[in-house]
């Protein structure tokens, strides 16, 4: 959970890398119940909507006890699969710390969960978003490699002052990405698969644009954090996503981006490979209601 902000103060109970003991026993029965409620309803509606790799990876979350996963047990299963582990952090962490964790195949997960009256939306990522949303795909070797490569690229981006550009790639892939499987659109981004409403909206709604992913295009595109996305970017496979990012030379790409204007979220360019042109009905309705 990178923040884009250098002003965070490390809590006293956090180590130098901002990790904290998960202390699984500190979670209450009510908090475990919130996890179980969220897990059950998302697990029921994702088949047919989520990428095959995500659904296969859900198996790593079926642990010996119900409720919020114990990170030690979870990491043991995940490490055997792909060499990744999950570490607890108090909340948002600095960008350089976040990138270093990813570069070393550690996924930082918030050590708290939303309240029962916040099931449908929480602005700061909690343990359900971080673990249910992200961890299943970390059991996929190709996607796991992509996440590590992103962390390594994030550390390099600090030299170019380009974190805000690279963050857009993370947003439109890791958090809100779509993939084509057998000529059907499926969801894989953690922000979608962990959202009861957006996991339907991203596939079923006529409102958003859906555009094939191109690196420069994505890194020019603004995004919003407080509502459903108005544009989704689509990949053909995780292998293709890893290849595109691994083969790219980001230093000249950052230089090119500095000379280009940022793009509003609803923009469609003549050179875009557009899969669906959205009506933007949802966004317009929200604007009128505001």
At 155-168, the pLDDT tens digits run 999 999 999 999 99
Q: With a cut of 70, say whether residue 3 has pLDDT above it.
A: no
Q: With a cut of 90, say whether residue 285 has pLDDT above it.
A: no
Percent of the chain with pLDDT over 70: 98
pLDDT of residue 156: 93
pLDDT of residue 6: 54
pLDDT of residue 101: 98
d(CA 108, CA 251): 27
pLDDT of residue 1: 45
**What domain range is 176 assigned to?**
24-289
Domain assignment of residue 13, yes or no: no
Domain assignment of residue 167, yes or no: yes
d(CA 146, CA 183): 23
pLDDT of residue 169: 97
Domain assignment of residue 132, yes or no: yes
Question: How many degrees, rounded to 5, is the angle at CA 162 between CA 156 and CA 165?
Answer: 115
Domain of 40, CATH number, reads: 1.10.800.10
Domain assignment of residue 8, yes or no: no
Domain assignment of residue 109, yes or no: yes
At 157-213, the pLDDT tens digits run 999 999 999 999 999 999 999 999 999 999 999 999 999 999 999 999 999 999 999
User: What mean pLDDT is predicted for residues 75-79?
Assistant: 97
- Looking at every residue in the chain, the average pLDDT score rounds to 94
Domain assignment of residue 7, yes or no: no
pLDDT of residue 171: 97
d(CA 267, CA 264): 6
Structural domain count of the chain? 1
Whether the model pTM is above 0.75: yes
Q: At what angle do helices 141-157 and 163-170 cross, to 10 degrees?
A: 170
Domain assignment of residue 4, yes or no: no
For residues 85 and 289, which has the higher predicted lDDT (pLDDT)? 85
At 86-122, the pLDDT tens digits run 999 999 999 999 999 999 999 999 999 999 988 887 7
What is the 3-state composition of the chain as percent helix, strand, coil, each rounded to the nearest 5? Answer: 50, 10, 40
User: What mean pLDDT is predicted for residues 219-233?
Assistant: 94
At 4-53, the pLDDT tens digits run 455 789 998 999 999 999 999 999 999 999 999 999 999 999 999 999 99
Strands (E), 153-280: 178-181, 184-187, 209-212, 231-235, 274-276
Domain assignment of residue 6, yes or no: no
């Amino acid at each position: 959970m990178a923040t884009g902000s250098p002003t965070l103060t490390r809590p006293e109970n956090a180590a130098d890398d901002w990790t904290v003991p998960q202390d699984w026993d500190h979670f209450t029965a009510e908090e475990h119940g919130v996890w179980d409620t969220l897990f059950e309803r998302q697990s029921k509606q994702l088949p047919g909507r989520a990428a095959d790799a995500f659904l296969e990876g859900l198996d790593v979350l079926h642990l010996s006890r119900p409720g919020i996963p114990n990170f030690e047990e979870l990491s043991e299963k995940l490490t055997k699969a792909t060499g990744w582990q999950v570490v607890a952090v108090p909340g948002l962490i600095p960008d350089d710390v976040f990138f270093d964790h990813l570069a070393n195949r550690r996924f930082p997960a918030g050590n708290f969960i939303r309240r029962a009256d916040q099931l449908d939306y929480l602005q700061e990522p909690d343990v359900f978003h971080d673990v249910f949303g992200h961890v299943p795909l970390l059991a996929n070797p190709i996607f796991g490699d992509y996440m590590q490569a992103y962390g390594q690229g994030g550390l390099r981006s600090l030299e170019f002052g380009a974190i805000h550009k690279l963050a857009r790639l993370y947003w439109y892939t890791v958090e809100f990405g779509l993939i084509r499987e057998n000529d059907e659109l499926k969801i894989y981004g953690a922000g979608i698969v962990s959202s009861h409403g957006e996991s339907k909206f991203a596939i079923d709604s006529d409102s958003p644009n859906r555009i094939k992913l191109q690196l420069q295009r994505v890194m020019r595109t603004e995004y919003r954090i407080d509502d459903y996305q108005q544009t989704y970017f689509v990949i053909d496979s995780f292998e293709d996503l890893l290849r595109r990012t691994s083969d790219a030379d980001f230093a000249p790409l950052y230089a090119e981006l500095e000379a280009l204007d940022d793009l509003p979220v609803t923009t469609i360019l003549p050179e875009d490979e557009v899969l669906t042109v959205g009506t933007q009905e949802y966004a317009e309705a929200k604007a009128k209601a505001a």
